[in-house]
Structure 1
Amino acid sequence: MTGLPASPEAPGSPEAPGPPANGAVEEPRRRLHPLSPVLHGAKSIAVVVAALSWQTLSQVGLERFALVVAVLALGVVVFSLINWLTTGYHVVGRELRISDGLLWRRNRAIPLERLQAVELRRPLLAQLTGLAELRLEVVGGSKTEAPLAYLTVRDAAALRERLLALAGRTPSVELRPDAGPQVAAPSLEQPLLRVSNRDLVISQLLTPQAFLLPVGVAFVVMQFVIEAQWSFIGIASTVTAMAGVLLQPARRILQDWDFRLARDPGGRLVVRFGLLETRSQVVPLHRVQSVGITWPLLWRAQKWLHLRLDIAGYAGEPGSDSKRSDRLLPVGDVTTARQLVWDVLPGVDLLTLATSPPPARARWLHPFALRYLGAGLTPEVFVSRWGLLTREMSVVPYARLQSVRVVQGPLQRLLGLATVYADTAGGRSGQARDRDLAEAWALAEQLALRARHARATFSQP
C-alpha cells in the first residue's frame, strides 16, 4: 500500500461546543417553525394507525379504536411540542450549534469547514404547509448530520446560503447577531440541464423489473386459464409480487421527476428533483471526489447513460445500499454527459478517456468480460472501466486520492496479476483490475506521485 498525504477534507471529529472563536459574538438561539410539532406528530400518528391492524378495529369496535388513536395522537403531539420547545440552533463563528433534549440535554457543534453539501427537502406535508427541512452532509458522516426540520422555505434557503458561504470562508456573510439568518437574495443561477420526464419514464420501463413484468402477467393468466379458478390468497399474492417488482422503477421516477441542474454565481452545483418530495441540493464542486458513468444493458439501444457524483461524507438514503442523492444525470445521451463531465471536472473530455486492457492471461479470470476491463492515466484523472451487461466507468481526479492499494488474490498470484485500488473519501474506488504485477506497482507509484503533485498544486493560493 502506498500512503498519500492527508487530504484537507479528511474526516475529523466534531469539536465540542465552546466559547466563540476569535471574539465572535454569539447570536441568540433560534427555534424551528411553530408548525414543526404538527408535522412530526402527523408522521408519528400515521405510523401508529398503521401499526393498529384492521383486526384490532374489528375486536374493539370503531369507537374504542378511535379513542385509542386519539389518546396516542395527543401523546405524540405533546411529546413533539416538548421536543420543539427544547430544540434550538444558532451560528457561532464558523460553527453551527444545535441543542435539544429535555431530560438528557444534547449539544452539538458542527465545524462548517467539514461541510460537504446542504440539502433542502420538502416532503409532501411540508409542501402543503410551506415549510422545508435542511440537511447537512459533513466529512466522515455515516448519516445526515443534524437535520433541521422544519423552517420556512425562505429561512431554510437563507440559512443554507449562509452555512455554505461560511464553509467557504467568505467573510462577507458574517452577520450581526441581531440580523438573523437572512442573507441577500441570491443572484440568478445559470441553468445547465433539465431532464425530460418522458425520457425518465421510458428509461425506467427499460429496466429488468419492468421488462420482465409482461412475462409474469402472461404466466399468471396462463395459470388462471389452465386451472379455471383463482383463490383470494393467490390474487393477493400476485398483486403484491407485481407491486414489489414495480416498486423500484416507480420510486426512481418519483425521486428524479423534474430533474434540473444549475450553477450558482459561486460556481457551486445546484441540483433539484422530486415529485412527492422535492429536494434541492447545493454541492461545491471542489468537494466532488469522483464521477461514475453507467451504461445499463437495455439503455444502450437508445444510447443513454447515467452519471453519478461521489461526495465525501454524503450519507445517502437511509436503509439503502445505493446513494440516490448524488446523481448528476439520471438519464441522458453522450453529448449531454460529455458537457456535464467537463463542467464538473474542467479539462476532462469523456470521449477522449483512453484505457488499456489487462494482459491476455487475465482471460482465465474473466472469460467473457476481459475486453470490457481497462484502466488509464490522463493528465487530470485516473480512469477505469468494467462490466459485461452493465458497463461502468469511474473517473477520479488525482487531487482526491486518499490512498493507493495493490491487492493480490490467490488466483492472481498464480497468474502474476494484481488489482490497483485508488481510494477516495467518497467511499468508492477507482480500480485497475488484474494488471500484470510489475505494471500494477508502476501504476500505483504513478498514482501516488500524481496525487502528491495535484494536492500541492491544489493547496497553493
Structure 2
Amino acid sequence: MTTTPGDIGEPRRRLHPLSPLLHGAKSIAVVVAALSWNTLQEVGLGRFALVVTVLALGVVVLSVVNWLTTGYHVVGRELRISDGLLWRRNRAIPLERLQAVELRRPLLAQLTGLAELRLEVVGGHKTEAPLAYLTVRDAAALRERLLALAGRTTGTAQPDAGPRVAPPTLEQPLVRVSNRDLVTSQLLTPQAFFLPVGVAFVVIQFVVEAEWTFIGIASTFTAMAGVLLHPARRILQDWDFRLARDPGGRLVVRFGLLETRSQVVPPHRVQSIGLTWPLLWRAQKWLHLRLDIAGYAGEHGSDSKQSDRLLPVGDFGTARALVWDVLPGVDLTTLATSPPPARARWLHPFALRYMGVGLTPEVFVSRWGLLTREMTLVPYARLQSVRVVQGPVQRLLGLATVHADTAGGRSGEARDRDLAEAWALAEQLAVRARHARRPAPPPVASVPPLTPVTWQRPHRP
C-alpha cells in the first residue's frame, strides 16, 4: 500500500476512556441475566455475589485490553481501524463507498455524554465500522469530516492535521411527527387491536372453569407482553421523529427515546422510496414512508433496520411534500399506473384492481396489496439490474414478473404482466437507466415511450 501524507501527519486515535466501562456494563448485565434464580438459591447469596464479581472483573479487564488495542485514523480518503491483541485486525474503509453515517446514543451513553458512530457502506451486511464510544462533539465532528471526504469525486487527498470541530449549521426542518399520532398509530395495529378480545376470551375461560392457576395467569401475562412488545418497541424507536435538511442538501433524521439516533443521508444515496397504507390506518388517512439506502444493514430477523424511516406516520399531504423533496419532480397525485391483464385474476382474484405499474419521467412506479396497500418508487439512475421471471403457473397463463433491482435490497416489481409487455417493460427500464446515468442526460421526452413488442418463443433444436 502506498504511503500518503496522511499516514505520517495523523496519529492513531483511541476511543473515549469510558468506553470499557460501557462495554463492560452491557456484558455484565448479560452475565447476570444468564445466571438463573435457581443458581442463586443453590449457591447462596454470598457465593452468587462472588461469582458475579469475578466475572465482572474479567469482563472489565477484557474491555480495557480491547480499548487499548483499538484505534482509528483517516488516511487520504480511507478510514482505517485497527483492533485485536492476539489476532491483530486492520480495516481500511474507502469513503467513496460510504452510504450513511449514524450517531447512536444508547441510554448509558446518554447518561455519560458519549455517542457511538456507525458507518454504512455499499454491499455491507452489517455495520462496517462501529466506533463506540466517542464524545458527542468528537463524533459529530468526525461524521462531518467523513461525509465531506466521501463527497469528493475528483482531486487528490490532502494531508489532514486531524479532526476538526464542525461549525454550527442551520438545518431546514422538513417534518416532525407528533408523539400522539405515533402512539395512536401503533394502537391501530392488529396486535393491539385484537388484544382486548384475547384477554376477554381468557378471562371468560377462567370464570367458566373457576380455575385460577399460577401457570395460567403467568402464561396470559407473557402472551400479552409478547403481543405488545412490537408496538411498544416501535414507539420507543420512533419517538420524537424529526426530519431536516442541512445546508449541504443532506437528509438529517433523528428519532428515539431510550436510544437516540441521528443519521445523515446524502440524497444521491437514496435507492428507492416505499409507501404503505395499513388497513387500520386508512380511516385516519395515514400512511408511512420508508427510505431504502444501499448498504444499510440491520440484524438479520429483527426490526433493527430503522435507518429507512422517512415518515413513521403521517397524512398524504405530508408524504407528498416529502417525496417531492427527496425525489424532485415526483408528484404522488400524478402517478398513473396500468393494471395487469384480466387473465391475471386467476392468480389474484380479489387484489387485481389494486395492482399496477407505471413509467414516469423520473421513476418506475409499482403498487400492490389488498388489505395493506404498498407502492414503490425507484429512480431510473438507481437501477442495478432488470429481471424477467416466470413461474410454472405464469407460463400457462402467458404472464411474467419484471423485477427492477437496486443496491438497497428492495426492488420494484411489475407483477403478472403480459409476457410481451414484460419484455418491453424490461427493455424500457434498461434504456431509461442508461440515459439517467449519463453525465449530461438528454430530455426525458427523447426517451422512446413504452410500446408493445412482439415476443417470439426462442427456437429449440
User: Shorter chain as normaliser: what TM range?
Assistant: over 0.9
Number of residues of Structure 1 aligned to a counterpart in Structure 2: 442
More moved, 119-128 vs 320-329: 320-329
Alignment of 1:48-447 (within 5 A): 48-169=31-152, 177-178=160-161, 180-320=162-302, 323-447=305-429
Partners in 1 of 2:105 and 2:156 — Cα distance? 26
Distance 1:277 1:166, change over 3 A: same
Query: Is 1:26–1:92's contact at 8 Å kept on the other side of the alignment?
Result: no
CA displacement at 1:20 relative to structure 2: 3.8
- Secondary structure of 2:13's aligned partner: coil
Instruction: Report the alpha carbon displacement of residue 351 of structure 1 after superposing the two structures with TM.
Output: 1.2
Aligned to 2:434: 452
Q: TM-score, normalised by structure 2?
A: 0.93
Supply the AA of the counterpart residue of 2:329.
Answer: G
Counterpart residue type for residue 84 of structure 2:
G
Relative to structure 1, the CA distance from residue 124 to residue 289 in structure 2 (aligned partners, 3 Å threshold; closer, same or farther) is same
CA distance in 1, matches of 2:351, 2:402: 18
Q: Give the structure-1-normalised TM-score.
A: 0.93
CA contact (8 A) 2:279 2:372 kept: yes
Q: Is the 8 A contact 2:339 2:352 kept in 1?
A: yes
Deviations 1:390-411 (A, max 9, x none): 0000000000001111111111
Cα distance in structure 1, aligned partners of 2:56 and 2:168? 40
Contact 2:5 2:158 in 1 (8 A): no
Write out per-residue CA displacement over residues 45-97 of structure 1, whole angstroms, 9 at most, x where no aligned residue. 00000000110000000010000000000000000000000000000000000
Gaps spanning 5+ residues in structure 1: where? Answer: 1-17
Partner Cα distance (1:195, 1:34) in 2: 36
What CA deviation, in whole Å up to 9, does each residue of 1:211-260 have, x standing for no partner?
A: 00000110111012111221111111110011000000000000000000
The superposition leaves residues 384-438 of structure 1 with CA deviations (integer Å, 9 ceiling, x where unpaired) of: 0000100000000000001111111111111111111100001111001111111
Amino acid at match of 1:29: R
Which whole-Å CA distance do the structure 1 matches of 2:256 and 2:147 have between them? 23
Residues 26 and 91 of structure 1 are in contact (CA less than 8 Å); yes or no, is this contact kept in structure 2?
no
Residue pair 1:165, 1:173 contacting (<8 A) in 2 also: no
Instruction: Tell me by how many angstroms 1:24 deviates.
Output: 6.6
- Overall identity of the aligned pairs, in %: 86
What secondary structure sits across from 2:117 in the alignment? strand
Partner letter of residue 432 of structure 1?
A
Q: Call closer, same or farther: CA 1:422–1:246 in 2, change over 3 Å.
A: same
User: Matched residues in 1 for 2:335 and 2:297: separation?
Assistant: 29
Classify 1:175/1:243 alpha carbon distance in 2 versus 1 (closer, same or farther; 3 Å): farther
SS at match of 1:184: coil
Sort the Cα spacing of 1:382 and 1:85 in 2 relative to 1 into closer, same or farther, 3 A: same
- SS of equivalent residue, structure 2 residue 60: helix
Quickly say closer, same or farther: Cα 1:288–1:20, change in 2 above 3 A: farther
Partner of 1:43: 26
Question: What is the distance in 1 between the residues matched to 2:240 and 2:156?
Answer: 32
Deviation at 1:316, TM superposition (A): 2.5
Pick closer, same or farther for the CA change 1:391–1:48 going to 2, 3 Å.
same
Deviations 1:254-294 (A, max 9, x none): 00000000000110000000000000000001000000000
Aligned equivalents of 1:403, 1:337: Cα separation in 2: 28
In the aligned structure 1, how far is the partner of 2:120 from the partner of 2:146? 12
Distance 1:143 1:292 in 2: 22
C-alpha displacement at 1:312, in angstroms? 0.5
**How far, CA to CA, are the matches of 2:156 and 2:148 in structure 1?**
7
CA distance in structure 2 between the partners assigned to 1:302 and 1:28 by the alignment: 56
Structure 2, unaligned stretches of length 5 or more? 443-461
SS for the counterpart of 1:120 is: strand
8 Å CA contact 1:121, 1:278 repeated in 2: yes
CA distance in 2, matches of 1:288, 1:227: 57
